[in-house]
Amino acid sequence: MDEEGESLMNLCRRLSALLLAALLMTAGAALPALAAGSAQEQVTILFTHDLHSHLLPAADEKGVEYGGYARLKTVIDEQRRAHPDALLLDGGDFSMGSLFQTAYSTSALELRVMGAMGYDVTTFGNHEYDYRAAGLADMLQAALASGDPLPAIVEANYLPPEEGEEGYDQDAQAVWDAFDDYGVADYVLLERGGVWYAVFGIAGVDADACAPMSGMVLHDVQDTARRVVEEATAACLEENGVEPVVICLSHSGTDGEGRGEDYELARGVDGIDLIISGHTHTTLAQPIQVGDTYIVSAGEYGKNLGRITLNWDGGGVSLASYELIPIDGALEEDAELARWIQQAKGEVEESYLSAFSLGFDQMLADNPYVFDSAEQVSATQHESTLGSLFADAYRWAAEQATGEPVDVAITASGVIRESLPQGEVTVSHVFNAASLGIGADGVPGYPLVSVYLTGADLKTVLEIDASVTPLMPAAQLFSSGVEYSFNTNRMIFNKVTDSALRRDGGAAEAIVDDQLYHVVTGLYCGQMLGAVEDTSFGLLSVTARDENGNPIDMARLEDYIVHDREGGEVKEWYAIASYLQAMGGEVDAVYGQPDGRKVVYASWNPVEMLRNPNRFTFIALGVLLALILIVVLVVSLVVRRITRRKGGHTRGYQGYRGRRRGLRR
């Protein structure tokens, strides 16, 4: 090789060495970064809960709009562009809350629109059972028949009875078949961006209590969660060689202040990284950390899209960021989804509202007043003009339908789902406010029921409002045809101080204990009387009767549904809509302010505390008097013993001195 060739070879060797060194240096610099990346990932979860069929924007009591799925879809898409591997999850109660629910069992609009928005997984809330077991099965089959994209569904502890168990019937089997066809499971394993997730669903004790016609069996929450966490984690390790981020879609709830079933779940079950907490409609501005678990809630009706980003190290999480993104009128709607919703709206008008000769957006009355929000209705014990209007509507509608006078009508805060806005009140607004359930006729909407109560039981109903509401806010009652007052400082179960019937024209009439009174309420409100009895520890109970005074089997309360003259059930929402229509264009001035039908006050005046005592106060006074007598007796015995002991020592000492004196003599 000549000198020039050798020089060229040496140059190539030097260049190769330099290139190799550069590659090694680059690799050396990259290795720590790769190690860090494998040690810790960031995972993002988008979430909602308690959507309640609110496909369209809704209006609050002041007429301000919020929510709407076409706007929600816009934000979801924005978040997924920023976080391509984000999961989109929902914590249940995706149905029951607007006119779209009327197609629940036939078209499954809610699940289909969630599929269109890109939801990965949801769970059942108690309101998914409002149309009972058969309705749930029909909804799942309708969703599958649509051929549309659908979210996965997880449900681990709220299941139909199995063959051979009490309650098993053809409806239970239909649900099992629908679960199998749809693929409803305890949990699902999902992979996004190299990270595996185990997502499972849980229903809480209160959710079960709020679904009296579900036909489901509630299995122990914590035992089930513990089992599923272990099984899902083991399955992910076996199948994929890694531990998953464990997420619970819990329809149990929190109060945001350190209480609630989901706090107990987080405390009692290890291995859950994140709980998306539905059912209580809580809005958490920041996650709650309980041990190694984060609890999040975004509020109801699609008012917010929640986003939480967690640092994941392969065995645990820590919070990176959290945000609730408001869904309001400042957002543009996703055009394609908006068109889909408009088509669904037309389907609802044709399949449901046409039977009532009403339109989706038909105006019923102009409302110049600001009513309580749904939250305010339950927040404190008070007379609510919104509750009064609903109770008056029930009484009016029952009388119009049957031609029979009604003494009293009652509704409860738990069935008032939304307020009526200031300004135009439409059919949709009214249905949203009284949207729950289904009747014996299989038609959506709870009907009114007509029963009789003795005067003594009617007084007990008023006492339920006064005494049970602090323990069970959904039991707060609003009435028509009766007026009463109660002192919140009085003995529990004896808080009511005055009560009377309020006849037309405002005249008061005494309630006679052994007289029968005609009472109208909603089917759900009547069914929940048993829960109220449980909450009062069995001390308060009400016996519904027929017109002849015979006790009614509450399991057959549907036999007492109010029907119109054509034989149709009088639905709660339709009673309100018809009542508003009858006002002639504007909501009556009587609903501009409370009219004194319920007076709530707090007084420590001894006369007020003891006025009109009942057996509970007499028992309490008897117990108090007995305790006082016991204390007096004990103190008296102690004083006497001490006195005797002192007297004995004195005489003994004097005797000792006397004996000493005698000896000295």
Q: What is the pLDDT of residues 354-398, one digit of tens each?
A: 999 999 999 999 999 999 999 999 999 999 999 999 999 999 999
Q: pLDDT value at position 15?
A: 39
Domain presence at residue 247: yes
Q: pLDDT value at position 665?
A: 36
Q: Are 504 and 370 found together in one domain?
A: yes
Q: pLDDT value at position 530?
A: 60
Separation CA 406–CA 392 (nearest Å): 11
Separation CA 166–CA 578 (nearest Å): 42
DSSP-assigned states of every residue in 514-543? TSEEEEEEEHHHHHTHHHHHHHTTTS----
Q: pLDDT value at position 103?
A: 96
Separation CA 422–CA 428 (nearest Å): 14
* Domain total of the chain: 3
Domain extent at residue 520: 362-603
Separation CA 378–CA 441 (nearest Å): 30
Q: pLDDT value at position 536?
A: 67
DSSP-assigned states of every residue in 360-381? TT-EEEEE-S-PPPHHHHHHSS
Q: Are 403 and 446 found together in one domain?
A: yes
Domain presence at residue 1: no
Residue 530 CB coordination number (10 Å): 15
Residues 6 or more apart whose Cβ sits within 8 Å of residue 20:
none
Domain presence at residue 449: yes
Given 282, 302, 326, the domain boundary residue is 326
Are residues 378 and 419 in contact, defined by beta-carbon separation less than 8 angstroms? no
Separation CA 108–CA 122 (nearest Å): 14
Q: Are 411 and 534 found together in one domain?
A: yes
Q: Are 252 and 377 found together in one domain?
A: no
Domain presence at residue 184: yes
Q: Report the predicted TM-score, pTM, of the whole model to 2 decimal places.
A: 0.84
Q: Are 461 and 379 found together in one domain?
A: yes
Q: pLDDT value at position 648?
A: 52
Q: Are 309 and 436 found together in one domain?
A: no
Q: Are 183 and 241 found together in one domain?
A: yes
Q: Are 194 and 294 found together in one domain?
A: yes
Domain presence at residue 17: no
Alpha helical stretches, state H, 358-453 = 374-379, 385-402, 427-433
Q: Are 567 and 618 found together in one domain?
A: no
Given 302, 326, 350, the domain boundary residue is 326
Q: Are 609 and 599 found together in one domain?
A: no
Q: Are 558 and 629 found together in one domain?
A: no
Q: Domain of 551: which CATH number?
A: 3.90.780.10
Task: Please state whether 215 falls in left (phi above 0), alpha (psi between -120 and 50) or beta.
Answer: left
Q: pLDDT value at position 535?
A: 65
Q: Are 570 and 633 found together in one domain?
A: no
Q: pLDDT value at position 576?
A: 98
Q: pLDDT value at position 540?
A: 81
Residues of the chain with confidence (pLDDT) below 70: 1-39, 530-536, 615-621, 624, 646-665
What are residue 311's DSSP bridge partners? 42, 318
CA distance to 371, 386, 433, 579, 586, per residue, from 430 (Å): 13, 12, 5, 11, 15
Domain presence at residue 425: yes
Domain presence at residue 316: yes
Q: Domain of 214: which CATH number?
A: 3.60.21.10
